[in-house]
Amino acid sequence: MSSELSPPAAPLLPAPGPGRGAGSPLPPPGQPVLRITGVNHHFGEGETRTQVLFDNDLEVMPGEMVIMSGPSGSGKTTLLTLIGGLRTLQEGQIEIWNPDQSGYATLRGMAEPDLVQVRRRIGFIFQRHNLFDSLTAIQNVRMAQRVGPGSPDPDADAADFLTYLLLGTRDVQGKPQKPRTDYKPAALSGGQRQRVATARALINRPKLVLADEPTAALDANTGLAVVTLLRCLARDRPDDELRQLVRPPADASEGGRLADWQIPLLRKIVTETGTTSLIVTHDGRIMNLADRIVHMGRGRIESNVVVAERLFVREGLRQSPVFAAILPDEQQKIADQILIGVHPDHPARPDHLRAYPGRVEVYDPGQVIIHQGDRVDEHGKFYLIRRGTVEVLRTADGVTAKVDEMGPGRYFGEVALLMDQPRNATVRAVDRVEVYTVDRETFDRFRDVSRPFIERILINFRDSPWDEHGRG
C-alpha cells in the first residue's frame, strides 16, 4: 500500500441523514451518478514509476449494481480506491453526484476536507475492513452510525442489520444460535468480521457502495444475504423474487438460500432505494445478478456491458428469422457489436451516440426511416427498435394504408442484409424513435460461420412471399 492511501475512516460527525438536506438525491434523468473519464494511474517515482491504469472511462447510472472482474493485478482495487477518494487522482477526472449540493463532486485536485466529505457519503466494504479491535461487533456498527431526525432507533437498527446478516440469535434454519453481536473482532471468524464490516458500511444507507470481494470470505448463504441486501438497496424487489430465494435446505448447494425470517427483516432495513454499487468479484453467482459487468485487463476497462441491454438486443435479433438462423454465439457477437452501454429504459444521449457512431439512430416524430421502393444495396440496414413507436405504411395501387405499428423489441428491414431488393414498405417514426442498426458489413463478418443456415433462410425468402411479414 502506498502512503497516499488513507483508510476509510469511520465518520465521527453527524451528517445529513434521511429527511434532511435540500439537495436532489438523484442526478437529472439520464445522467450517471458516477462518471470516470480518462483515468490513468502510476505507482512509484522516477525509475520505478509504473503505469497501472490506462485511460479508463466508465459511467454508472443510479441504482445500478456493477460487477468488476478481471485478473489479479489488472487494477480493480486501484480504480476502486480512486473512486472512493482513498488515493490521490493523478490524471483524468472522477465525478460523483453529490445529493447535498445537487451537483457533481469532482475528485481531481480536491482538498482533503472535501475528500473526507466524499468518503463519508460512500459505503466501503473492503478486505481490510478496519474494524476497531476494542469494540464489539455491534459497537463497531454503532460507531459509524449517523443519527438524524427520522432515522430508525439506532440500537435496534444496528441489531437488525447484524441479525439479517446471520450474526444474531437465529441461524439460517431458524434455529437459535449464540449471537456474535457482543464479540470483539479477535473472537470472530474472517467471514463474521466481513459481515460486521458490511453492516457498518451500509448502516447509513449510502447512495454509493464500493465493495472489494465482499463475499470472498463468505459461504453461499451469507454471501447471498449480502448480495440480496445490496440488490434491495438498489431497487425495490417484488416479494415473489425474494421468496424464490427461500429454498429448502437440501437445495442450498449452488447459490445459497435465505431463511423465511430474513425477508421481513430485509424489508425493514431497506428504508431507501437507489443505491449504486460497484463490486469487485470473481463470484459467478453475483455476476448473474449484475446490471452491468465491467471487465478489466492490464489496467484498462476491456468491456463494459449492460446486462439488460445485451439481453434486449439478443432477444430482439432472435425474433428475426435472419438472425435466428445464426449460431447463438454469433448472435451474441452481433448483439455486442451494436450495444451502446445504456439500459433500454434510458434514452441514448448525444455523447453515447458519438461514442458509438452508427450503432443507434434517432428519429423525430413523423420522420421516415425507410421508404417503400427505395433500392437497397450493400449499405442496407436492419433496424431493431430500442425506444419509441413506428408505423408501417404500404402503398399499393396509389392507396397508402397503415399495416402495422411497432414498439421496442420489434424489427424491420431485415431482408436488406441478405438481398438487393427494394424496400417493400415505408416505416415512419410516430414519436421519438431510437433504433439499433445492423449493416451488411457487420452481418457479413458473422454470417460466414453460419453460412449453411443462412442459405436455408435465403431459399425460404425467395420461395415464400415474405411481404406477409409486412416489414420490408
Ligand X SMILES: Nc1ncnc2c1ncn2[C@@H]1O[C@H](COP(=O)(O)OP(=O)(O)OP(=O)(O)O)[C@@H](O)[C@H]1O
- Give the residues lining the site for Mg ion (CB under 5 A): 77
CB-based contact 261:174 (threshold 8 Å): yes
Question: Choosing among Mg ion, ligand X, none, which partner's interface includes residue 422 (Cβ < 5 to 8 Å by kind)?
Answer: none
Cα atoms in the Cβ-side hemisphere of radius 13 Å centred on 371: 4
Indicate the residue among 182 and 302 with the shorter CB distance to ligand X: 302
281 binds ligand X (CB under 6 A): no
What's the min distance (Å) between Cβ of 281 and ligand X? 10
Q: Of 234, 258, 252, whose CA–CA distance to 174 is shortest?
A: 258
Question: Choosing among Mg ion, ligand X, none, which partner's interface includes residue 75 (Cβ < 5 to 8 Å by kind)?
Answer: ligand X
1 binds ligand X (CB under 6 A): yes
Grid coordinates representing 144 are 459509524
What's the min distance (Å) between Cβ of 222 and Mg ion? 21
- Count the helix, strand and coil residues of the chain and give each as a percent rounded to the nearest 5: 30, 25, 45
Indicate the residue among 64 and 212 with the shorter CB distance to Mg ion: 212
What's the min distance (Å) between Cβ of 187 and ligand X? 27
Indicate the residue among 48 and 448 with the shorter CB distance to ligand X: 48
Which x/- pattern over 23-62 shows residues binding ligand X (rule: CB under 6 A)?
Answer: --------------------xx-------x----------
Going through 331-398 in order, the beta strands assigned E by DSSP cover 360-363, 368-370, 381-387, 390-396
Q: Give the residue, chosen from 35, 76, 386, 410, that forms a contact with ligand X under the rule CB under 6 A.
A: 76
**For residues 214 and 226, what is the distance between their CA atoms, to the nearest angstrom?**
8
What's the min distance (Å) between Cβ of 85 and ligand X? 16
Amino acid at 281: T
How far is the CA of 470 from the CAs of 64, 209, 303, 317, in angstroms? Answer: 38, 49, 37, 17
Dihedral, CA of residue 232, residue 179, residue 198 and residue 133, to nearest 10: 170
87 binds ligand X (CB under 6 A): no
Centroid of chain to Cα 443: 28
Which one of 14-22, 65-73, 114-122, 325-333 is the stretch in contact with ligand X (CB under 6 A)? 65-73
298 binds ligand X (CB under 6 A): no
Which one of 68-76, 222-230, 388-396, 431-439 is the stretch in contact with ligand X (CB under 6 A)? 68-76
**For residues 125 and 114, what is the distance between their CA atoms, to the nearest angstrom?**
21
What's the min distance (Å) between Cβ of 94 and ligand X? 15
Question: Choosing among ligand X, Mg ion, none, which partner's interface includes residue 356 (Cβ < 5 to 8 Å by kind)?
Answer: none
Grid coordinates representing 321 are 428469422
Question: Choosing among ligand X, Mg ion, none, which partner's interface includes residue 78 (Cβ < 5 to 8 Å by kind)?
Answer: ligand X
Longest dimension (CA), the chain: 88
Question: Choosing among ligand X, Mg ion, none, which partner's interface includes residue 2 (Cβ < 5 to 8 Å by kind)?
Answer: ligand X
Question: Choosing among Mg ion, ligand X, none, which partner's interface includes residue 69 (Cβ < 5 to 8 Å by kind)?
Answer: none
Indicate the residue among 58 and 433 with the shorter CB distance to ligand X: 58
How far is the CA of 176 from the CAs of 167, 168, 222, in angstroms? Answer: 11, 9, 16
Q: Give the residue, chosen from 56, 77, 194, 275, that forms a contact with ligand X under the rule CB under 6 A.
A: 77
Please enumerate in sequence order all residues whose Cβ is within 8 A of that of 328, keeping only pairs 6 or more positions apart, or say none.
none
**For residues 158 and 78, what is the distance between their CA atoms, to the nearest angstrom?**
30
Going through 14-166 in order, the beta strands assigned E by DSSP cover 34-43, 50-60, 65-69, 91-98, 103-106, 122-125
Question: Choosing among Mg ion, ligand X, none, which partner's interface includes residue 74 (Cβ < 5 to 8 Å by kind)?
Answer: ligand X
Indicate the residue among 116 and 293 with the shorter CB distance to Mg ion: 293
Query: Helical H runs in 320-396?
Result: 321-324, 328-338, 350-355
74 binds ligand X (CB under 6 A): yes
Which one of 10-18, 66-74, 143-151, 387-395 is the stretch in contact with ligand X (CB under 6 A)? 66-74
Indicate the residue among 201 and 306 with the shorter CB distance to Mg ion: 201
Binding site for ligand X (CB under 6 A): 1-2, 43-44, 52, 70, 72-78
